[in-house]
Amino acid sequence: MIIIEKDKHTKAKAPFWRAHIEYHKWFLEQDFNNENNTFISLGDLFDCAIPTPDEVDSIISLYAKSKFKKIYLLAGNHDYSDSLKVHSILPLRNNPRVELILEPCQKIIEGKKFFFMPHYVHSENFLPMREFYENPPSEFVENDYLCFHIEDETIQFGKNKTGIDLSKWKGKRLGGHIHKIQKNYELGMPVQSRFDEKGQINNLLCISDKEQYIPIPKFLDFYDAMYGEPLPKVEAMFPIWDIHDAPSSSEGRKYYFGNHIRKVFVKNEKKDAVEIKKNQPAKRKTLVEFFQEYIAKRTDLSSSTIDRLKNTISKK
């Protein structure tokens, strides 16, 4: 049996940190966690390319306590630091059952042929990532499964920008990196990591004689509430709230103090903002504002590159 997990994005930030701790507890208690099975992570174990000691320790502890006979960890874009030129998942190589997949490779696992496609930036052994993945050597084309951490050609960025074309490859696609559920492929995130995953299902994929999804309890999700009303009972153990129609942002947070609030929407705030904008003279953009908007439109840039650009601009 092979257990497949999508992007974890471990981060020591409330309430995500506690949600991951509870997920790890649940994970270790499941019947699939045994010495007969294999585990595959599709990348982005950490949310940041330079994780905190607590984040690293939590993942090391998780796999040390697990019972899988073999653990394959695919490198994602969040697992590599451009500034340090190093992978954040390297400490996990000290576990003899763990194999890090930092470069493309083909493996036979449980009698099935897998080709692993990590997100890589520099390689002495392979062509640049897009060039290699779009023009595969013939001996690698036939596979049962393709495990990747990239955007494939089904992902469209604007009119002329697409993901990497994997149409020359044969095999069922098991993709990480794209967090939302894809058509004909319903592997969800183990724990929600950001707002645009609101309401998405959480599960693992089990491959044995047949394929089936393993539901994961809802440890974290995003919800809405109206100011002045009791917070509704929800499924997630650690809910994050948007509060609507509050008299002010500070009043909204004060009223629901002790809960995790993502955003407070002030009553008539949008209407008032439009009226104020109408009466204000046109304002020229600063150089910083111009580059911030430019970066936001560059969906082809990696998250680590965007972070570095934002940090550079913020210092100007």
Segment-wise mean pLDDT, segments of 10 residues, the chain, 316 residues? 97 97 98 98 95 96 98 95 90 96 97 97 91 96 96 76 92 93 87 96 95 97 97 97 97 97 88 48 62 64 64 58
**pLDDT at position 291:** 66
Q: What local confidence, expressed as pLDDT, does residue 172 receive?
A: 95
Rounded Cα–Cα distance for residues 259 and 245 (Å): 17
Question: Using the 8-state DSSP alphabet, how is residue 77 labeled?
Answer: G
The rounded distance, in Å, linking the Cα atoms of 75 and 45 is 8
pLDDT of amino acid 246: 97
Res 144: pLDDT: 97
For residue 273, what pLDDT is reported? 47
The per-residue pLDDT for 200 is 95
Q: How far apart are CA 225 and CA 264, in angstroms?
A: 10
What pTM value is reported for the model? Answer: 0.82
Q: Mention every residue, 6+ apart, whose C-beta is less than 8 A from residue 124.
A: none
Region(s) of the chain under CATH 3.60.21.10: 2-215
pLDDT of residue 275: 45
- Measured CA to CA, the distance from residue 114 to residue 17 in angstroms comes to 32
Cβ atoms of 142 and 168 within 8 Å: the answer is no
CATH superfamily of 2-215: Metallo-dependent phosphatases (3.60.21.10)
